[in-house]
Every structure is written in C-alpha cells, then in structure tokens.
C-alpha cells in the first residue's frame, strides 16, 4: 500500500462510516541565573557561543556538533557561527576572555574538556566575567557521548529558563514501507531511528504513555483497526481494544491508567474512555450522529479535545474528561483536525492542523485568550503536530518530505529532523535522568 492509498484509507476511517481521523534576549543579570524571560511578549534569541574544544579530536567534534544542534533547537538561543569567533581557544582552554566574546555579540559561552574518563562542561555569562556560572562533569563510562551532551544541554536550558529541556526525548511516528506502514521511533533530533511495530500490516497513530514505557497504536494485523499497546523496544504488543469497527486515535490520561479513543462499535465514531490495562469501557463522552474522532487528553486530566463535524466541517471541540457537554473552540477556517495539548503548566493551548487557505498548516490556539499563533505558512502541507515535553517547540509531518520541528511561538525557521513520508507524529515524555 503506497502512502497516498494509506492516507485515503485513514481519511475514510476518519470522516466516513469508519473514521480516523525567547525568550527575551534582554540579558537581565540575575543572582539566580535566570536571564531569559521565556514569557516575554517581545522575544528575541539569546546569543550563545559553542566553540569547539581545542583538542579537536573525534569525540570533541561530536560534543560540539551535538551541543550546538541541541541548543539551536531549544527555541530560546541563537547559536553563533564559529567563523566569527575572535578568541584564542587554545589559550583560553576552559576559561574565557570576556571582551573577545562581547566583541562577537555573545551573551553566553559554553566550554568543555574531554578526557578518557569524563567530560567537563562550563557555562559563562559574558557580563559576569571570567567565573563560570554553571559547571558539570559527567563520567563517560556506560554512557554515550550524545547522552552526556543531552544531559548538559538540558542543564543549560533549565539554568536560563527554569524549564526542563527535552534533549534525550524521543518521537514516534508512522513511516511508509513496501505495502505496509510501520510505527517507528527516534531521538528528538532524528538520530537512532528504530522499528516499534514488527508486522507486515498497516500500523498507524502511535501515542506514548506518560512514563515513556509503552506506545499505543492502531494495527490492521487482524483485519480490523484494533488498538494495541507495546513497549518501544518492539516486543510483542497486547491487544487492548478489539471492538467491532474502529479502535483508533488513543490518547493517554496523565496518570497512564486510561485511554481516550474513537470507537465505532455502534455504527458511528464516538469518543470513549477505556481502561489502559484491559480496554474495558469506562464512559462514553460523545453521542451525536456526526463523526467524533482524534481525542487528546489535557495535561491536567480535566479535559479531552477532539474533532467533530457536527457543526459542518471538522472543528476542534473540548469536553470534560468526566463527561459533559462538548464545546467548539476552533473557529478559524473550515477544516481543523488532530488536536494536541501544550504541556505548559497553567496554560490551555491546543495545536492543530488547519486548512484556512490552499494548504494545511499548524496553528496553536490559547483557549483562554483566543489568541492564535501560526506555526507554519507557505511551506507545503503540514499536519499532525505534537509538542515537546516542555512545550517550547512542536514536531509535525510535512507531506511527502518528512518530520520538522518549529518554535511553538511561530518564531524562527523550521528544522527538518527526518526525511521520508511520515504521519502520526507523537513526541514522548521528558528523558529520565
């Protein structure tokens, strides 16, 4: 089955009888180290220098590559071009000459030193002089270089923003195969991709559990769109819901005990809550002659967003997770699908796919303020967004091209992290330290 046919099949399931549907760069010297106002109305990117260690060996180069890549994707930093650096890196070693870095516009400088046993990192705020404001040393035994750099970059993000970083997390997605579609997962930056679903059937719509220990997905391996849950390592999954018709679009409750799903067992796609352990139905959330699909559980557990065409074209609705009356929340355009919630505490932001022109794009809606941020525009067809664990950036599929990530506030340029036809993007939880 080619990707076009697969999409048609999914679309049929979703909308017919069977549906599936920065930080402010104003460097404010602060004793607690927080110099980036991540909620500032006018946000620039904090200029950060990540020079290559003077050793220049293979490990040092890997550290520099991973470090600059991570921090460039963080959504709050502008990683400076090494060609502009004026400092004598060999003479400086792990220190800095503040004036040399001021002269190239750096507000922060990251230094590191690799030994056979460890990697030492130092962060300098140029305005604070020659004393490092953050230092960490990691033992190399039992850990890859990439893992250690991810840990360090998470510390840098937390130092500046008081938010946890997402480096070391993973993204699941559906990839095109020869006559199949396969659930895969990879590191957040596109590295180390691996297969999750080991069958020759059609597998779609992966969803990470809150712990990151399991992935739910729909598979046609038994000639019905049944819901399975399995470990990311590709071990044999267990069937959780095999109701007649659709068992699709799983979204985990924040405590991991339940799943919101679309079931069409009574002939019409509706939103249900089921037990994650055995698929037993806990409650039915919608009861309408329209098509209801694509549930998404809010981070605080109170609300479930979903897609419905009850008022015409598909739009985003919300309903209390314990039951109640659905409420339409999206009103831009005539075609809005695939909602996903921002994990930011105290915020009620939903990103979704919209078609309010000739193409599909990603927007983020603040339900409280009604403010809409356009994340993509004039860059092909973009769909199926998923927030990073800290809500700072969004991953999404670009039709026929791959998976990209963009800042959730619409700033900056998109970064491609995976090449190839991909759908059903879902970003996993923050990495465990």
pLDDT tens readout for residues 112-123? 999 999 999 999
Q: pLDDT, tens digit, for every residue of 1-30?
A: 433 343 334 334 443 333 333 233 333 333
Residue in 386, 418, 385, 416 with CA at minimum distance from that of residue 186: 418
Among 224, 306, 323, CA closest to 270 = 306
Q: Which domains does the chain have, with CATH numbers?
A: 3-21+169-427 (2.120.10.30), 46-161 (3.40.50.10070)
Residue 171 above 70 pLDDT? yes
106: which residues sit within 8 A by CB, 6+ positions away?
47, 48, 49, 80, 126
**Mean pLDDT (whole number) for 354-375:** 94
* Rounded-to-integer distance, Cα 105 and Cα 98, Å: 11
Residue 143 in this model has a pLDDT that exceeds 90: no
The stretch 57-63 carries a mean pLDDT of 96
Asked if pLDDT for residue 107 goes beyond 60, the answer is yes
Residue 167 has what pLDDT?
97
The pLDDT of residue 28? 35
Q: What is residue 342's predicted lDDT score, i.e. its pLDDT?
A: 98
Regarding pTM above 0.85, the answer is yes
Helix residue ranges per DSSP H, 129-267: 145-161
Alpha-helical (H) ranges within 140-179 are 145-161
Residue 402 pLDDT > 80: yes
pLDDT (tens digit, 9 = 90+) per residue, 353-362? 999 878 999 9
CB of 342 closer than 8 Å to CB of 305: no
Amino acid 44: pLDDT: 80
Instruction: Return the half-sphere exposure (C-beta side, CA atoms, 13 A cut-off) of residue 238.
Output: 7
Q: What confidence tens digit (pLDDT) does each residue in 260-295 have?
A: 999 999 999 999 999 999 999 999 999 999 999 999
Residue 331, CA distances (Å) to 190, 290, 310 in order: 34, 18, 13
User: Using CA atoms in the order 43, 44, 45, 47, what is the torsion angle rounded to 10 degrees?
Assistant: -140
pLDDT of residue 39: 53
- pLDDT reading at 192 higher than 90: yes
């Amino acid at each position: 089955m080619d990707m076009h046919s697969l999409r048609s099949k999914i679309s049929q399931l979703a909308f017919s009888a069977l549906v599936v549907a920065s930080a402010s760069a104003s460097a404010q010297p602060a004793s607690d180290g927080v110099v980036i106002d991540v909620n500032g109305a006018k946000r620039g990117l904090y200029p950060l220098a990540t020079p290559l260690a003077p050793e220049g060996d293979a490990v040092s180069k890997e550290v520099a590559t991973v470090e600059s890549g991570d921090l460039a994707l963080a959504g709050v930093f502008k990683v400076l071009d090494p060609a502009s650096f004026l400092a004598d890196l060999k003479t400086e070693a792990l220190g800095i000459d503040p004036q040399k870095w001021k002269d190239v516009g750096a507000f922060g400088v990251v230094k590191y030193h690799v030994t056979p046993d460890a990697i030492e990192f130092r962060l300098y705020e140029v305005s604070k002089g020659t004393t490092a404001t953050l230092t960490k040393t990691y033992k190399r035994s039992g850990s890859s270089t990439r893992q250690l750099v991810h840990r360090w970059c998470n510390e840098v993000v937390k130092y500046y923003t008081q938010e946890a970083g997402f480096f070391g997390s993973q993204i699941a997605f559906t990839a095109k195969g020869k006559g199949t579609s396969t659930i895969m997962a990879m590191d957040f930056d596109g590295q180390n991709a691996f297969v999750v679903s080991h069958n020759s059937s059609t597998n779609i719509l992966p969803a990470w559990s809150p712990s990151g220990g399991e992935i739910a997905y729909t598979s046609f391996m038994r000639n019905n769109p049944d819901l399975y849950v399995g470990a990311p390592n590709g071990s044999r999954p267990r069937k959780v819901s095999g109701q007649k018709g659709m068992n699709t679009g799983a979204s985990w409750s924040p405590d991991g005990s339940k799943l919101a799903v679309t079931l069409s067992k009574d002939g019409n796609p509706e939103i249900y809550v089921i037990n994650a352990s055995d698929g037993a139905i806990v409650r039915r959330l919608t009861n309408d002659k329209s098509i209801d699909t694509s549930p998404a559980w809010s981070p605080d557990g109170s609300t479930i967003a979903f897609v419905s065409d009850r008022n015409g074209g598909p739009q985003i609705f919300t309903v209390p997770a314990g039951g109640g009356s659905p409420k339409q929340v999206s009103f831009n355009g005539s075609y809005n699908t695939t909602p996903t919630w921002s994990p930011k505490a105290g915020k009620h932001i939903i990103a979704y796919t919209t078609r309010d022109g000739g193409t599909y794009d990603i927007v983020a809606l603040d339900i409280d303020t009604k403010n809409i941020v356009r994340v993509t525009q004039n860059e092909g067809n973009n769909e199926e967004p998923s927030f990073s664990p800290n809500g700072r950036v969004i991953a999404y599929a670009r039709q026929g091209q791959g998976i990209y990530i963009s800042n959730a506030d619409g700033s900056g340029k998109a970064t491609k992290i995976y090449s190839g036809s991909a759908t059903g993007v879902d970003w996993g939880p923050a990495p465990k330290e």
